[in-house]
Amino acid sequence: MLAIFGCGLLAGLFGSMVGLGGGIIIVPILTLIFNIPIKSAVAISLISVCATSIGGAARYLSSGKVDYRLALFLETTTVAGALCGGLVALVVKPQIIALIFSLMLFYTGITMLFNKEKAENQTGDYNHDEPKSPAKYTILGLSFIGGIISSMLGVGGGIIKVPIMNLILKIPLKIAAATSTYMIGITTAAGSIVYLVKGMVDYQLAAPLILGTYTGSNLGARLAAETRSKVIKYILIIVIFYSAANIALKYLGIKTP
């Protein structure tokens, strides 16, 4: 129980700090270390990631970093994708989805790595009331995909939401991470419905994990406010590459550390 709590603490801390939700940490730990079946791990992860969002979003909202108008706009398709993803996960082979997802992550990581952004885009003021770019309609489709991946892999979808907000809409990374953390709670709540109805959630494991992620997410949001955006960007890139490699190798039957 203490080990599960520690897992949640680490996932919440890191997930809230970079706006990913922590699912990319929770699912591998539950499956590789605690030998929990992948679908059960995904179900538990979704509920825990929801707790991460609640804890981290509260602090981000009070600091004024969340673009909640954009978040709710994108959630119109993300929630639909989350519900679809939960249903598709029950019938589609996870190997196929995992390999496609890995390729997408590698592409996103490489794009972010070689994308040279102006300093003011990272640290400058951001006006939440300014008109958004027409590109926001383009990322509605990408948000739908993010919702599907969120429910299928239990990662919360932030690993897609943060890059598309930062790269397509040119939103400063700290604003994107805060907005993603806010969105993740809605996305995972919708995605959890399918797993809850199917009785795939182990509440005895979920309880200490939720407590850990909620505690860690508060700490992560506080640290993010004191960390340079460039540091957060490279942490995000490392996490993306690690996740891509780990997911691909796992579903190819190759054990990873």
Q: Which residue has the higher pLDDT, 83 or 223?
A: 83
Q: Where are the domains of the chain?
A: 2-251
* Six-digit token string for 181: 């953390």
Task: Please state whether 156 falls in left (phi above 0), alpha (psi between -120 and 50) or beta.
Answer: left
Average pLDDT over residues 228-251: 76
Radius of gyration from C-alpha coordinates of the chain: 17
Please give the pLDDT value at position 121: 45
Contact 17, 220 (CB under 8 A): yes
In the 8-state DSSP scheme, what is residue 154?
S
| Model confidence pLDDT, tens digit, residues 125-178 | 566 555 456 666 778 888 888 888 788 877 777 777 887 888 888 888 778 878
pLDDT at 118: 46
End-to-end CA distance of the chain: give it in Å, rounded: 22
What pLDDT digit, counting tens, does each position of 29-55 carry? 787 778 787 788 888 888 887 776 776
pTM for this entry: 0.72
SS3 90: coil
| pLDDT digit string, tens, across residues 73-128 | 888 898 999 999 888 888 877 677 677 777 877 877 787 787 665 444 444 556 65
